[in-house]
Amino acid sequence: MTTPHALDGVTVEIYDTTLRDGAQQEGMNLTVADKLAIAPLLDELGVAVIEGGWPGAIPKDTEFFGRVEKELELPRAQIAAFGSTRKAGGRAHDDVQVRGLLDSGAPIVTLVAKSDVRHVERALRTTPEENLAMITDTVRYLREAGRRVIVDAEHFFDGYRYDSDYALRAVEAAFAAGASDVVLCDTNGGMLPDWVHAIVTDVASRTNGTLGIHAHNDSGCAVANSVAAVVAGARHVQGTINGYGERTGNADLLAVVANLELKLGARCLAPGALAEATRIAHAVSEVTNIPPYGRQPYIGASAFAHKAGLHASAIKVDPDMYQHIDPTLVGNDMRMLVSDMAGRASIELKGRELGFDLTGQPELLARVVDRVKNAEAEGYTFDAADASFALMLREEIDGARPAYFRVESWRASVNYSERVGGDGESEATVKLHAGGERVVRTGEGNGPVNALDHALRDALRGIYPEIETFELIDFRVRLLDTSHGTDAVTRVLIQTTDGTDVWSTVGVGANILEASYEALVDALVYGLVARGVEIR
């Protein structure tokens, strides 16, 4: 029996504020070019409104609005300019910042307005009645100028809990002046879902107009609070891609939308757009230069990753037994992780993921399981090193790994001299056999590992020019037994790319150089195998 969705047939407007509120995240500094790169991605996702920033107050945002109409085509989304109500004691048509909102040319203006009487009196230092007049005057002025006006009722939930009558008067003033939506803001992020549901239910019953929700994540409930608000009657949701924002961030729009569409049946994005969520979120991460969070719900690399052997046995029968949705609905995929917890089912499923059919080969599976468990006891980890595991699997299937080259010896050194300013000079020499030749190369680099990487590549590029596209993009080191101090076993994980694919390898050794050498060699061999390069 299928349970009907609670929001079947309900349309929810999705409003993205990544370029304004999200950009307030610590460590994020979006240029105008960055904003112009992110906006089309948001449009492709299918959000209804993209908030571009605060024109007239922030020069960078003023430039963005000046360029967006000329340089971008956004077939789905409309751009919104963000600003505040007029100053106390003034008039909207005389307010410089209000005029800046009109001058931006944005068809939508979002006004932040005070709805907590304490903020009115202590922050604005004006009277409650004057604050209501500021809302009314500014909204009416912008509406008469032909703009759609959305009002963000700042600190609404805290204000409601302190003085619900005044908070409601602020909402009513905005609607009466012509606001299309009033967005109830959990500005401090301290609300819980039950509180949000009860308050939105009450506001919806006492006002006429479209309500929205703008939740921050300080209590860890921004996504849940956003969903609770929609269930209670809100039909407009504000948030950011990847949950960007100051302090602990804003509501992660992708998690909110996935919950509303897939669990509750609401219509939020264009049909099929949610299937692009993972790709677009990662593309935005590239522009912001903030690495994707692997454990992010729905779209993280670990969101549908399975490690326990018990899980793998069930997934082999039916993938849905340990997954709350089909990951392809959000553009993600299931991943099997190989570790000392792995059983035969885990290895078989992981092999299938990597292109190996291990069905009906119990002895091979048993050998691989034992080898994985023994290797992990020595310090290896394969749940983050698929390429190294693929090479291990190939060894067990074929009896040996592809012999593209054989390293005779290698050494690396750092020469340190006070006379040259205290800088270390790193150098590595590799002697190897490939293509019927004995090759000796020396490389220099920023540290001994970098020098070793250069020496290996230099020795091989004449025989295997394909490695010219390989680039090491991540390098992580971990000491596995810190009780031994500097004598501890070292594990190195590296990521390599050819500009299209990314693969991870692992090395373990008595020191960082031995571990790095093993991971570097695995990366080169796997890259050549994956590209179908023949041994020369």
Q: Is the CB of residue 321 less than 8 Å from the CB of residue 304? A: no
pLDDT of residue 339: 45
With a cut of 70, say whether residue 336 has pLDDT above it: no
Mean pLDDT along residues 41-45:
95
With a cut of 90, say whether residue 446 has pLDDT above it: no
C-alpha to C-alpha distance for 172 and 169, rounded to whole angstroms: 5
Mean pLDDT along residues 484-503:
81
With a cut of 70, say whether residue 443 has pLDDT above it: yes
Mean pLDDT along residues 490-513:
89
pLDDT of residue 173: 98
Beta bridge partners of 108: 80, 148
Classify residue 69 by its DSSP letter: H
The three-state secondary structure class of 55 is coil
- What is the average pLDDT score of the chain? 88
DSSP symbols for 482-504: GGGGGGS-EEEEEEEE-SS-EEE
Query: 4-8, 241-245, 425-429: lowest mean pLDDT where?
Result: 4-8
Mean pLDDT along residues 36-63:
95
Helices (H) and strands (E) in the chain, counts: 17, 16
pLDDT of residue 364: 78
Give the tens place of pLDDT for each residue, 76-114. 999 999 999 999 999 999 999 999 999 999 999 999 999
User: 430 vs 374, which has greater pLDDT?
Assistant: 430
C-alpha to C-alpha distance for 102 and 111, rounded to whole angstroms: 12
Mean pLDDT along residues 305-310:
53
pLDDT of residue 482: 53
> What kind and span of H or E run contains 49?
strand 49-53
Query: 61-70, 269-278, 416-425: lowest mean pLDDT where?
Result: 416-425
DSSP symbols for 427-446: EEEEEEEETTEEEEEEEEES
The three-state secondary structure class of 221 is coil
C-alpha to C-alpha distance for 134 and 137, rounded to whole angstroms: 5
> What kind and span of H or E run contains 256?
helix 253-258
C-alpha to C-alpha distance for 19 and 52, rounded to whole angstroms: 5
Beta bridge partners of 79: 50
Task: List Cα–Cα distances, 515 to 372, 424, 486, in angstroms.
Answer: 17, 21, 14
pLDDT of residue 311: 46
Query: 125-134, 278-287, 318-327, 361-370: lowest mean pLDDT where?
Result: 318-327
Look at the pTM and tell me if it is higher than 0.85: no
Smallest CA-to-CA distance from 145 within 95, 114, 103 is with: 103
Give the tens place of pLDDT for each residue, 451-460. 999 999 999 9
What is the domain partition of the chain in residue ranges?
A: 13-288, 305-366, 405-531
Pairing of strands 108-114, 49-53: unpaired
Residues 6+ apart with CB under 8 A from 65: 52, 53, 55, 79, 81, 104, 105, 106
Mean pLDDT along residues 278-301:
86
DSSP symbols for 138-149: HHHHHHHTT-EE
Beta bridge partners of 505: 494
pLDDT of residue 419: 56
Evaluate whether the domain defined by 405-531 bears CATH number 3.20.20.70.
no
Q: What angle do CA 165, 167, 171 make, to 5 degrees?
A: 110
Give the tens place of pLDDT for each residue, 202-219. 999 999 999 999 999 999
- φ, ψ at 195 (rounded to 5°): -65, -45
C-alpha to C-alpha distance for 368 and 379, rounded to whole angstroms: 16
Q: Is the CB of residue 451 less than 8 Å from the CB of residue 428? A: yes
Q: Is the CB of residue 57 less than 8 Å from the CB of residue 66? A: no
Beta bridge partners of 351: none
C-alpha to C-alpha distance for 359 and 392, rounded to whole angstroms: 18
Domains 13-288 and 405-531 share a fold: no
With a cut of 90, say whether residue 198 has pLDDT above it: yes
User: 415 vs 57, which has greater pLDDT?
Assistant: 57
The topology (CATH level 3) of 13-288 is: TIM Barrel (3.20.20)
Q: What percent of the chain has pLDDT over 90?
A: 63
CA–chain centroid gap for 237, Å, is: 19
